[in-house]
Amino acid sequence: MRILKRILKFAANNKTYNRVEIQVSNENDGLSGILVDDFTKIKQLFEGAGDFAYRELEINSVHSAVILYLSGLVNVERMESHVIKPLLSNGEELQKLSKQSIDQITAVLSSAQIAQGETFQDVIDEILSGGTILLLNGFKKALIISEQSWEERSVDEPVSEAVVIGPREGFTENIGTNISMIRRRIKTTKLKFEYMKIGTLSKTEVVIAYLEDIAQPSIIEEVRSRLKRIDIDAIEDSGYIVEFIEDHPFSLFPQVLQTERPDRVVGNLLEGKVGIIVENSPFALIVPITFFEMMSSPEDYYGRFIMTSFIRMIRYLFLLVALLFPAIYIAVTTFHHELLPTNLIFSVAASREKVPFPAVVEALLMEITFEALREAGLRLPKPIGSTVSIVGALVIGQAAVEAGIVSAPLVIVVATTGIASFMFPSYPLTGAIRLLRFFMIFLAGTLGFYGILLGVFFVMVHLVQLRSFGVPYFAPVAPFHYNNLKDIFIRVPWWKMNERPHETGKGNMKRVRTRNRKY
């Protein structure tokens, strides 16, 4: 390395040379092949970065080299054994190489993945992504060696989508691990992954996953187009992308499914949908999506169809409870007393005798308090979060009833509504129902049942108008497709679900190929 050191010393003492180097050229410019020139420019770009590291090598009397990397993103031991030792041990053999024989240097290295970069931008991007760069004097190409290594979370059971029967592994923040979990489940060359980078500063890697010949090309192209239009400094989580690609960003209802279960992603890919996997995020995105798919759980497909169908019907029933129960209570106690039996009317009236507030104000107080307790339980540490929320609800509810602030029947209504809201498999859908519940309470408090019917009408009209990447949000009910109803309110046996959804699986509608059964 004596030659390189003499050149660097000469450059440091030469003011004219320094003026040229300080004016760093465009990062898209190609490498010059002059080691000291290229090395100095890259050092200037990383000036002030304490984790930027390099290792100078004198391979032989002819060839000098520099290895560039970020210390926290590279496995140094592997780099030494796979890169440095092979170069130094084969120094005499490499001395005979010409300036165009970089492929022979690649053959000496024992790393599994080696690529070539020709511009400063290629080199910088790879360094920032955890790659190891090898610059050699006299070569206008840099070797990009994959020796990434950083601390990461192990594969654990999904927290937000727990199941009793089914796979227990969930996505992590490592995009390579996430892709491997999908690839393990679909062993076909038709499974495609398209890579792109989003974020001018973060350069976050985003992967589009789909099954060729099943997913519609128009949907794939629309996903690709919407992702390419995103222009933002950084993407920290897949949630950033959701707001950029939704058809109706001001709607309360989610039009993109967020999941941390690889089996759920695979199940949707098999139906012709497109998955979006984002680096550093344990949540993958699935598009297009419908309202009824937000109401289905991955466990629905692992249990027996009879029990699954029963659970689904209960889920839809409690969807109405979570949305309308407090509103119905307010409407009945305020405007429509005749709907209740006489004994029940007397019981409710006696419980509300000491309450100073109207039913609508009483309901709003309890609902807001319940939402605060729910949020507090989420934000507190896990060992005490659930305890505080449960104990808080019991203590506050009992104290409020004894103090005459709220009535006992309303406490039962709010508690039942809260339990119902926990039954939805999709957390974003839960948030939409919780907000709409307040809307229904206001309508019930002003117009009674007429207000509730008006609110339901507006919600249904809104759902029918929604689109998710061009697919009707309320399909297959509106527009109506009889064959697709087999997996909506109930789930028929697997041997009867012989076709994919009409909206997304037109490329290959046939899913189950079995002989005709007698039942």
* CB burial readout 344-358, b (16+ within 10 A) else e: eeeebeebbeebeee
Whether residue 308 sits in one domain with residue 270:
no
d(CA 163, CA 477): 28
Whether residue 238 sits in one domain with residue 364:
no
Q: How many distinct structural domains can be found in the chain?
A: 3
What is the tens place of the pLDDT at every residue in 219-270? 999 999 999 999 999 999 999 999 999 999 999 999 999 999 999 999 999 9
**102 pLDDT above the threshold of 90:** no
Least confident of 26-40, 462-476, 504-518: 504-518
Whether residue 141 sits in one domain with residue 185:
no
Q: Which amino acid is at 102?
A: I
Q: Tokens for 437?
A: 């519940």
- Please give the torsion angle defined by the CA atoms of residues 135, 136, 139 and 142, in that order, rounded to the nearest 10 degrees: -20
Stretch 444-459: mean pLDDT = 94
Whether residue 131 sits in one domain with residue 186:
no
Q: Tokens for 241?
A: 């992308």
Helix (H, G, I), strand (E, B) or coil at 468: strand
- Comparing 325 with 389, the larger pLDDT belongs to 325
Residue 516 lies in a domain: no
Whether residue 206 sits in one domain with residue 181:
yes
Q: Provide the pLDDT confidence category of residue 285 given band limits of 50, 70 and 90.
A: very high
- Comparing 93 with 360, the larger pLDDT belongs to 360
Residue 157 lies in a domain: no
**165 pLDDT above the threshold of 90:** no
Q: Tokens for 451?
A: 């207000």
Whether residue 228 sits in one domain with residue 187:
yes
What is the reported pLDDT for 16?
A: 36
What is the reported pLDDT for 11?
A: 46
Residue 512 lies in a domain: no
Q: Tokens for 159?
A: 């927290």
Residue 167 lies in a domain: no
pTM: 0.84
Rg (CA), the chain: 31
Query: In terms of Cα–Cα distance, which of 241, 238, 244 is closest to 281?
Result: 238
Place of tokens 């994959």: 146
Helices within 154-257 (DSSP H only)? 175-185, 217-228, 238-245
CB 244 within 8 A of CB 226: yes
Whether residue 41 sits in one domain with residue 15:
yes
Place of tokens 């792109």: 196
Stretch 13-31: mean pLDDT = 49
- Edge-to-edge strand order for the sheet containing 52-58? 52-58, 64-70, 132-136, 142-145, 114-117
What is the reported pLDDT for 385?
A: 63
Whether residue 273 sits in one domain with residue 241:
yes
What is the tens place of the pLDDT at every residue in 42-93? 988 888 888 898 888 887 767 788 999 998 888 888 888 888 888 887 766 6
Residue 477 lies in a domain: no
What is the reported pLDDT for 410?
A: 87
Stretch 429-455: mean pLDDT = 93
Helix (H, G, I), strand (E, B) or coil at 151: coil
What is the reported pLDDT for 517?
A: 57
Give the structural domain span for 184.
175-289
- Comparing 28 with 448, the larger pLDDT belongs to 448
Stretch 394-412: mean pLDDT = 79
Stretch 327-334: mean pLDDT = 92
What is the reported pLDDT for 205?
A: 92
CB 289 within 8 A of CB 271: no
What is the reported pLDDT for 466?
A: 94
Q: Counting Cβ atoms within 10 Å, is residue 235 exposed (0-12), middle (13-18) or buried (19+)?
A: buried
Highest mean pLDDT among 48-57, 338-347, 373-382: 48-57
- Please give the torsion angle defined by the CA atoms of residues 266, 268, 271 and 277, in that order, rounded to the nearest 10 degrees: -80
Q: Which amino acid is at 505?
A: G
Stretch 484-510: mean pLDDT = 84
CB 294 within 8 A of CB 257: yes
